[in-house]
């Protein structure tokens, strides 16, 4: 559903909030009807419905993994700016160190004005409850709008042996969780979650570089009226054209990208697309096709599920160094620091643990070696003053 929103006056500070089953606005805004909300001096903000949750969310979601890397003061500033510009969905996880605490610091005083999703990577019921209670405490709240299983290697389901899904249902009955979701990188687990119809949302990697099989997952969510949350909408840093990424995902009305935001400039880019939606032109499609061709075949998505590595290798960046060297400014990765990190690949024990954990079934040790060879060539050229 598309809702037009116009600013009423200078006091409304661009705020538009989605909560419960309806859009509501700050006192300074007026709702003309259920489809159009008019205020003065306008912009157009796209609001979508998150599947059967019926939650109304700004098409720009906030992925809160990167705020781990900035101070609490900086994170609160970013989160407040996002909120002031109508972003109402924030996705975090127990696994993201202090990300939940930073969101709690930003929104503890306005909890019912935002939608908060978190995740648990617990593998047993006892840890599930520990995680949930820690998350609620960190977020300064007594409920989550959405609680997701964090990339499990199977699909938890009602009545199964491990009891994880049943624990989720108990948390829901207790009012601690409003909706139940699952995040996953594996096509088979994602498809099972959709087909079982016991989840409200699926979080799955999706961008213009995704495969046709991935697109089938997005379409299946639509058919099952399941909220689709796009993670890695910039393909883990491989996409450097955020306008194109936004325009591509804008075609899928039921899909909610959660942009991983660490810098104010990144946030500003996505906010600007709310008023001026980037369009998919024929030139855009040519660029998408070109990039898809460049990135065809097996490549590391940078998800990090293969870590930690017993040899200390930062696999999620080292295994895609060749791509990073070609798609990011050279000075970012051709540094002494990265040369040292890449050299650790020489210490690989070939234990194969990374390969076993990779949801894309990549031959990670071989990929690391190839990337190291490539890096050494770039490095040698740099040392020779050729770069
Ligand atoms: S195979 Fe090498 S890179 Fe992979 S986990 Fe083992 S030591 Fe680390
Ligand atoms: S090797 Fe696989 S698991 Fe590891 S970061 Fe890359 S895609 Fe993710």
Q: Encoding tokens for residue 205?
A: 């990697």
Contact 235, 257 (CB under 8 A): no
205-231 pLDDT, tens digit per residue, is 999 999 888 999 999 999 999 999 999
Q: Is the CB of 302 under 6 A from ligand 2?
A: yes
Integer CA distances (angstroms), 27 to 36, 88, 109, 116, in order: 16, 17, 17, 22
Residue 195 CA, ligand 2 centroid: distance in Å:
26
- Which of 221, 255, 289 marks a domain boundary? 289
Residues 58 and 124 in one domain: yes
The residue written with tokens 């590391």 in the block is 300
Q: What is the Cα–Cα distance from 126 to 131, expressed in whole angstroms? A: 9
Q: What is the Cα–Cα distance from 108 to 105, expressed in whole angstroms? A: 6
Q: Is 173 among the domain residues?
A: yes
Residues 59 and 168 in one domain: yes
Pairing of strands 22-25, 16-19: antiparallel
* 235 — pLDDT class (breaks 50, 70, 90): confident
Least confident of 4-8, 35-39, 164-168, 256-260: 35-39
In eight-state DSSP terms, residue 44 is -
Contact 203, 217 (CB under 8 A): no
Crossing angle of helices 125-138/99-107, nearest 10°? Answer: 40
* Mean pLDDT value of segment 351-368: 93
CA neighbor of 102 nearest in space, from 116, 113, 88, 112: 116
pTM reported for the whole predicted model: 0.80
Residues 194 and 336 in one domain: no
Q: What is the Cα–Cα distance from 289 to 47, expressed in whole angstroms? A: 28
Residues 115 and 204 in one domain: yes
The reported pLDDT for the residue numbered 44 is: 63
Give the whole-number percent of the chain exceeding pLDDT 70: 88
What is the number of the ligand 1 atom nearest to the C-alpha of 352? 1
Integer CA distances (angstroms), 387 to 325, 339, 379, in order: 12, 15, 9
129-175 pLDDT, tens digit per residue, is 999 999 999 999 999 999 999 999 899 999 999 999 999 999 999 99
Contact 224, 199 (CB under 8 A): no
Buried b (16+ CB within 10 A) or exposed e, 314-336: bbbbbbbbbbbbebeeeeebbee
Q: What is the Cα–Cα distance from 254 to 219, expressed in whole angstroms? A: 9
Q: Is 183 among the domain residues?
A: yes
Mean pLDDT value across the chain: 87
What is the number of the ligand 1 atom nearest to the C-alpha of 355? 4
Residue 371 CA, ligand 2 centroid: distance in Å:
13
Number of domains in the chain: 2
Other residues' Cβ atoms within 10 Å of the Cβ of residue 357: 14
Least confident of 151-155, 263-267, 328-332, 339-343: 328-332
The residue written with tokens 């995740």 in the block is 119
Q: What is the CATH number of the domain that holds 174?
A: 3.20.20.100
Residue 299 CA, ligand 2 centroid: distance in Å:
8
Q: Please name the residue whose Cα sits nearest to atom 3 of ligand 2.
A: 358
9, pLDDT greater than 50: no
Q: Is 112 among the domain residues?
A: yes
Residue 205 CA, ligand 2 centroid: distance in Å:
13
Q: Encoding tokens for residue 347?
A: 């210490």
Q: What is the Cα–Cα distance from 156 to 122, expressed in whole angstroms? A: 12
What is the number of the ligand 2 atom nearest to the C-alpha of 316? 5
Q: Is 41 among the domain residues?
A: no
CA dihedral 299, 352, 348, 313 (to 10 degrees): 60
Q: Is 14 among the domain residues?
A: no
Integer CA distances (angstroms), 382 to 138, 346, 364, 370, 379, in order: 46, 21, 26, 19, 5
Q: Encoding tokens for residue 236?
A: 């883990």
Crossing angle of helices 187-196/212-223, nearest 10°? Answer: 10
Q: Is 199 among the domain residues?
A: yes
Q: What is the Cα–Cα distance from 194 to 361, expressed in whole angstroms? A: 22
80-117 pLDDT, tens digit per residue, is 999 999 999 999 999 999 999 999 999 999 999 999 99
* 43 — pLDDT class (breaks 50, 70, 90): low
Q: What is the Cα–Cα distance from 234 to 232, expressed in whole angstroms? A: 5
Largest CA distance in the chain: 67
Residues 64 and 201 in one domain: yes
Q: Which residue has the higher pLDDT, 217 or 305?
A: 217
CA neighbor of 67 nearest in space, from 243, 266, 236, 239: 266
Ligand 1 pocket, CB under 6 A: 309-311, 313, 315, 348-354, 364-365, 368
Q: Is 363 among the domain residues?
A: yes
72 lies in which domain range?
A: 49-289
CA neighbor of 242 nearest in space, from 208, 196, 219, 282: 208
The reported pLDDT for the residue numbered 25 is: 40
302, pLDDT greater than 60: yes
* 296 — pLDDT class (breaks 50, 70, 90): low
The reported pLDDT for the residue numbered 354 is: 96
Q: Is 27 among the domain residues?
A: no
């Amino acid at each position: 559903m598309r809702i037009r929103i116009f600013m009423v006056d200078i006091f409304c500070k661009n705020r538009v909030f989605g909560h419960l089953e309806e859009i509501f606005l700050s006192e300074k805004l007026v709702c003309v009807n259920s489809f159009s909300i008019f205020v003065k001096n306008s912009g157009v903000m796209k609001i979508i419905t998150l599947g059967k949750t019926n939650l109304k969310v700004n098409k720009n979601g906030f992925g809160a993994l990167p705020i781990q890397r900035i101070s609490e003061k900086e994170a609160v500033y970013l989160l407040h700016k996002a909120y002031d510009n109508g972003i109402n969905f924030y996705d975090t996880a127990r696994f993201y160190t202090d990300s939940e605490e930073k969101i709690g610091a930003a929104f503890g005083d306005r909890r019912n004005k935002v939608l908060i999703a978190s995740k648990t990577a617990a593998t047993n019921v006892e840890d599930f409850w520990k995680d949930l209670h820690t998350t609620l405490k960190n977020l300064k709240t007594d409920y989550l709008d959405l609680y997701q299983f964090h990339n499990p290697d199977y699909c938890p389901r009602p009545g199964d042996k491990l009891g994880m899904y049943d624990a989720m249902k108990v948390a829901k009955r207790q009012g601690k969780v409003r909706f139940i979701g699952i995040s996953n990188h594996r096509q088979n687990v994602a498809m099972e979650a959709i087909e079982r119809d016991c989840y409200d949302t699926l979080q799955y990697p999706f961008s213009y570089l995704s495969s046709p099989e991935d697109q089938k997952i997005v379409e299946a969510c639509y058919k099952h009226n399941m909220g689709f949350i796009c993670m890695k909408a910039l393909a883990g840093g491989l996409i450097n054209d955020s306008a194109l990424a936004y325009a591509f995902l804008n075609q899928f009305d039921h899909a909610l990208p959660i942009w991983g935001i660490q810098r104010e400039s990144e946030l500003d880019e996505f906010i600007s697309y709310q008023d001026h939606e980037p369009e998919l032109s024929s030139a855009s499609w040519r660029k998408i096709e070109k990039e898809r061709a460049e990135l065809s075949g097996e490549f590391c998505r940078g998800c990090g599920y293969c870590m930690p590595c017993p040899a200390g290798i930062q696999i999620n960046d080292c295994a895609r160094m060749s791509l990073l060297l070609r798609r990011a400014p050279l000075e970012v990765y051709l540094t002494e620091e990265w040369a040292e990190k890449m050299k650790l690949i020489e210490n690989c024990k070939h234990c194969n643990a990374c390969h076993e954990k990779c949801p894309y079934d990549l031959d990670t040790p071989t990929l690391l070696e190839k990337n190291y060879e490539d890096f050494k060539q770039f490095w040698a050229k740099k040392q020779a003053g050729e770069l």
